[in-house]
Amino acid sequence: APSKLLIKGGTVVNAHHQQLADVYVEDGIIVAVEPSITVGDDVKVIDATGKYVIPGGIDPHTHLDMSFMSSGTIDDFFSGHAAALAGGTTMHIDFVIPVDGSLTAGYEAYERKAKKACMDYGFHMAITKWNDDVSREMEIMVKEKGINSFKFFMAYKGALMVNDELILEGFKRCKSLGALAMVHAENGDAVDEGQKRMIELGITGPEGHALSRPAVLEGEATGRAIRLANFVNTPLYVVHVMSIDAMEEIAKARKSGQRVIGEPVVSGLVLDESWLWHPDFRTAASYVMSPPIRSKGHDKALQAALATGVLQLVGTDHCAFNSTQKALGIDDFRKIPNGVNGIEERMHLVWDTMVESGQISVTDYVRVTSTECARIFNIYPRKGAILPGSDADIIILNPNSSFEISTKSHHSRLDTNVYDGKKGKGKVEVTISRGRVVWENNELKVTPGTGRYIPMQPYSYLFDGLDKKDSTYLSSLKAPVKRAKSSS
């Protein structure tokens, strides 16, 4: 028998509209969104009176089951998904890391890792080397494997870092394939220099992480990536915008009409760097991520940028390492695996920080946590909307109930939580993943293997009309000067 579900009496919110309506779901797909739908008694009914019925969160930036800095992230495609669903996120896009420079091998490895998925997922891919094979494989990824975005790391010297030559080749290839170029923007050479400086000064603890890679290095790399993307005339997506410096580069470029997307992450919006000075190494190390969490003031400025549309969507960069793994850097902050949690906490913290505080509306909340991600990566309105025909990834949020984050009760495998003790208004009471109620009454009901891969098509709205700018450029060039072959 088909699975049927009716959500009754709630306020249904999409990015551009909200209304009092019922939502009827059959076999994982939304069939109707209308006032007063009546159904037979074979249909499960959930009462959402006084609550918001909104599209499940889409996290554009995660690292599940990733090998990184001689460790592996401890949340895999099952535990990471369970945590996400308990916090109202029903889809994420993870970064495939190539294996020995091979994109195909990397893709196949992530395909295997994701077999235990219990929510829907998509992939970005990192580009860490350049040669003809990589260029060819990028086309296969876009045309056959459903990947429409590639990330270039401007930091992590000696590991993932790429130089400007590779960035230019990569950006040109992205443009020709209709794929979105993404950057981790920090000046990796200068970070390396800053790290040596700290070690020479005897600063070997987690605070050295913040001191060695200041915001100016993030601003420089962000500005450079933006200018190179402008030179190639291709859209750019800046991941984990952590500083005013980077945000202002994005603001300036967008104001001039350039297609640049800026993604703040939850840690940058709600935390500050003082944790890195905590006397307990275990605590301090749990906050080490790159770019670093900044000093007080950057958080509020990033919130304001999100509220005013300078930044467009919120990710987490969920990249979970246990305290035993973080202890690899007990004598040297450079060896602390970089990354913090957030896949479970994002929806609650963005609600509390942005909506409960009055900085954004509920429709804007839906846009920055779900819809904009779906639009950018070209899966809207299958995802990111509550409309007839959309996948039934839905959450019910009670604005009058409250949440409390704790390492003891979270669903991640982490033995720490950078948001431990945070509480606030607004609670995700029900999560529905493609029509299945997977989170209700504070209980998870998840099964490995029920999540599906969501392939993503190239040429999202960001590419629309770009070729006009190319032809304007070409026609603006003056004809070459005709010179005599030899002069006397």
Instruction: Please report, as a single letter, which amino acid is at residue 205.
Output: G
CA distance 174 to 166: 12
Closest to 90 in 3D by CA, of 460, 417, 403, 370? 370
271 interacts with ligand URP by CB under 6 A: no
Which residues are CB-neighbours of 350 under 8 A, at least 6 positions away? 266, 269, 314, 365, 368, 369
* Minimum gap (Å) between residue 63 Cβ and Zn ion: 6
Task: Please name the amino acid found at residue 298.
Answer: H
Nearer to Zn ion, 51 or 184 (CB): 184
Q: How far is the CB of 63 from ligand URP (least distance, A)?
A: 5
Q: Which residues are within 8 A (CB) of 396 and not within 5 positions of it... i.e. 6 or more apart?
A: 7, 10, 46, 48, 51, 52, 53, 54, 428, 429, 430
* Of residues 160-189, those binding ligand URP (CB under 6 A): 184
Listing DSSP states for 346-411 in one string gives HHHHHIIIIITTTSS-HHHHHIIIIIHHHHHTT-TTTSS--STTSB--EEEEEEEEEEE--TTT-S
Residue 290 in contact with ligand URP, rule: CB under 6 A? yes
**Nearer to ligand URP by C-beta: 30 or 125?**
125
Asked if residue 339 binds ligand URP (CB under 6 A), the reply is: yes
Residue at token pair 């077999």? 115
In the bound complex, what is the minimum distance in angstroms from residue 246's beta carbon to ligand URP? 14
* Residue 184 is a binding residue for Zn ion (CB under 5 A): yes
Q: Which 228-267 positions form the footprint of ligand URP (CB under 6 A)?
A: 240
Check residue 59 for interaction with Zn ion (CB under 5 A).
no
Which of 267, 286, 338, 370 forms a contact with ligand URP (CB under 6 A)?
338
218 lies in the binding site for ligand URP (CB under 6 A): no
Radius of gyration of the chain (CA): 23
Point out which span in 74-82, 181-189, 454-462, 465-473 binds Zn ion (CB under 5 A): 181-189
405: left (phi over 0), alpha (psi -120 to 50) or beta: beta
Per rule CB under 6 A, is residue 345 in the interface with ligand URP?
A: no
Residue 9 or 194 having the CB closest to ligand URP: 194
Map the footprint of Zn ion across residues 81-110, applying CB under 5 A.
none
Collapsing DSSP to helix, strand or coil, 203 comes out as: coil
Binding test (CB under 6 A) with ligand URP, winner from 65, 76, 218, 317: 317
- Which residues of the chain form contacts with ligand URP (CB under 6 A)? 63, 184, 240, 289-290, 317, 319, 338-339
